[in-house]
Homo-oligomer: A and B are copies of this chain.
Amino acid sequence: VAPSPARRASRRRPRRLGLDAIVDVTLEIIDAEGVDAVSMRRVAAEFDTGPASLYAYVASKEALLRLALDRVIDAIPAPEGDTWQDMTRDFVVKVRSAFAAHADIARLSFAHIPTSRGTLENGERMLAAMIDAGVPPQVAAWSLDIIALYVGADVYEGYLLGQRFTDGSGRPPEEVGAETFVADVTSAFSGLSAEEFPYLTKYAPEMIGGSGDERFFFGVDMLIAGFAAQIPKRRRR
């Protein structure tokens, strides 16, 4: 017999309560509908219980979301590359795709100081590569911070742009998004007077152009170039 359509919870056979399972469910909801779709009631429903049951495992919703983020961050593989520049680019790609695979989870990454083993190992690796290449320690230390901030902000912004321009037609959001975005900004720019805004009107294609990837890697390269310029001249290679 087909299962009753009246069933509301997404999967029957309720799961067994436990911290790992709670984080699993949280991450599933984030992946499917984003961070704002997570509610204690909805997570609890997957275990056929009420929200109060979760408080034996997590102190608050905020703490639960942080656990979900930690799990994503801990799964980021080690950066690789022959130079610190290549390593930075590789790291940035890995962090970015880890975040991007979980909707807007990057929103939770701000002011988050991860202290798990894997993260510390990745940090150690990056720091070593930069310092060994002659990057001053203070520059190297702050660089890691800034890179993390930049990647988080980029992914979060990318998610929002994708969301904003989804039109419910079922077409892939990137496609719809790109079109709508270009149309919007173009019309904003084309309404400008060329006398008052000579540069914005002349360089409208540059303002609008470029995929999210192109813009992202451009920013990464700008930062890397900035860091590299901090290497004392005679050590530079």
Taking Cβ atoms with an 8 Å cutoff, the residues of A that contact B are 110-111, 113, 115, 120, 123-124, 127-128, 131, 137-146, 149-150, 152-154, 156-157, 160-161, 164, 184-185, 188, 192, 196-200, 203, 206-207, 209-210, 215, 218-219, 221-227, 229-230
Question: Do residues A203 and B127 form an inter-chain contact, with CB atoms below 8 A?
Answer: yes
Distance in Å: Cβ of A35 to nearest Cβ of chain B: 12
Complex contact A137–B203 (CB within 8 A)? yes
- The answer to whether B142 touches A210, judged by C-beta atoms less than 8 angstroms apart, is yes
Q: Among B140, B160, B221, B223, which residue has its beta carbon within 8 angstroms of that of A111?
A: B160
Q: How far is the CB of A1 from chain B (nearest CB, A)?
A: 42
Alpha-carbon distance A22/B164, docked complex (angstroms): 24
Among all A-B residue pairs, the 5 with the closest Cβ atoms:
A222-B226, A111-B160, A153-B153, A141-B206, A225-B226
Q: Considering the chains assembled together, what is the distance between the CA atoms of A140 and B141 in angstroms?
A: 28
- Would you call B157 and A199 a contact (CB within 8 A)? no
Question: Given known contacts A120-B197, A149-B157, is B226 in contact with A140 (CB within 8 Å)?
Answer: no
